[in-house]
Amino acid sequence: MVHCARFVSGSVTLTLAIAAIATTIVGTTASTASAAKTCPEEMALVGGSCIDRWEGSLVEVLPNGSEITYTPYATPVRHKVRAVSKPGVVPQAHISMALAQKACAVAEKRLCHASEWVAACRGSSGGTWPYGASHVPGLCIDDGRTHPLQSLYSGEAMYENRNMNDPRLNQLPNTIALTGSAPQCTNGNGVYDLVGNVNEWIDDKTMRGGFYLDVDELGQGCDYATKVHSMVYNDYSTGFRCCKDASDEGAESAESTQSMMSTSTSAPGEIGTLGRIFGVRVGLAPLAQLIGYLAKSSHEHPVHRPARRKIELPPEYGS
């Protein structure tokens, strides 16, 4: 029979100490279980989803597994590329929805759903523009930019697909801008350039937010949506960013903690962490019974009794 030594004069203290330990452990478990969802550092948590903070750029994955920066001025056909989100780089243009999907998948992400993208763009205030209700030209990359097609071509030649993918277009001055270079083109969500700079493919075959020459012809700001192109279309304005479901690391930690505290059933004779603390085979459920038993016992024995005695626990608490 396992014995638990108890000072009668300190029985209430002992009982309360055990209760405090149990409460702390259970409280920690509950707190961990309800911990906020988490995202990789280059992504922002919006609702239950993670969204890239900056417009997508690419790295090429070479056959030996190493990676190099892929040019943002060409279509990544017949190249294995991985989506990247970071500030201070030229965002990828000339990319189709199909290729953007693949690049996000290599990064273990996906294209955003419309609801995710719009929620990130509007912010908690629900504004039409990332920064508020009214358009302020220039807060995003959307005002006073050079029209590259007009600079290099004229007439109908401007709109031939080959020319709209001319790698020189976005290399002209005052066209595309580096990611995050418009610090006010955001809101409390911490996602940048959702409006302007490059159009962004999402998973419903639309492009959102407009680009550096147009943010209001097909909807205002966060409502801007290009819906006429196929998923293999691309030109100098087409970019992307990735999303993913937020990971619920709190629940995983809680599950691990619960398992650690429970009496083990994986091998005969094993005991949980609480068992190792108290020297009894006890998990969370029996612990409540143990506390009640000790509390009851302390009431049955006045404090003027001899200073020390042993209490035999019921058989279910070990042998």
**240-289 confidence digits (pLDDT tens):** 999 999 988 654 444 443 443 343 333 434 334 434 434 434 444 444 45
Per DSSP, the residues of 121-180 read HHTTTT-SBTTBSS--TTSSB-SS---HHHHH--GGGGG-HHHHT-TTGGGSTTSS--TT
* 65-97 b/e (C-beta count within 10 Å ≥ 16 → b): eeeeebebbebbeeeebbbbbeeebbbbbbbbb
Residue 248 pLDDT: 82
Alpha carbon 99 to chain centroid, angstroms: 23
Residue with the larger pLDDT of the pair 4 and 229: 229
Q: Average per-residue pLDDT in the chain?
A: 79
Over residues 162-179, the mean pLDDT reads: 98
**Residue matched to tokens 């038993």:** 293
The dihedrals phi and psi of 42, each to the nearest 5 degrees, come to -85, 5
Residue 35 pLDDT: 59
pLDDT bucket at 27, cuts 50 / 70 / 90: very low
pLDDT(10) > 60: no
**DSSP E strands, 210-299:** 225-226, 238-240, 242-245
Closest CA to 93 of 168, 191, 182, 173: 168
Whether 123 and 132 have beta carbons less than 8 Å apart is answered as no
Type of residue found at 217: E
Beta-carbon neighbour count of residue 228 at 10 Å?
A: 9
Cα–Cα distances in angstroms (integers) from residue 199 to residues 56, 175, 238, 243, 244, in the given order? 11, 13, 5, 16, 19
pLDDT(66) > 60: yes
Whether 256 and 123 have beta carbons less than 8 Å apart is answered as no
Q: What is the dihedral of CA 72, 74, 76, 80, to 10 degrees?
A: -50
Which tokens belong to 84?
């990247």
Using DSSP bridges, classify how beta strands 238-240 and 199-201 pair: parallel, antiparallel or unpaired: parallel
Residue with the larger pLDDT of the pair 12 and 46: 46
Q: Tell me the three state secondary structure of residue 82.
A: strand
Check: pTM over 0.95? Answer yes or no.
no
Sign of torsion, CA 9 10 16 18? negative
Q: At what angle do helices 11-33 and 284-300 cross, to 10 degrees?
A: 160
Domain ranges for the chain: 1-34, 43-245
Which tokens belong to 135?
């358009």
**Residue matched to tokens 């612990």:** 287
Beta-carbon neighbour count of residue 199 at 10 Å?
A: 28
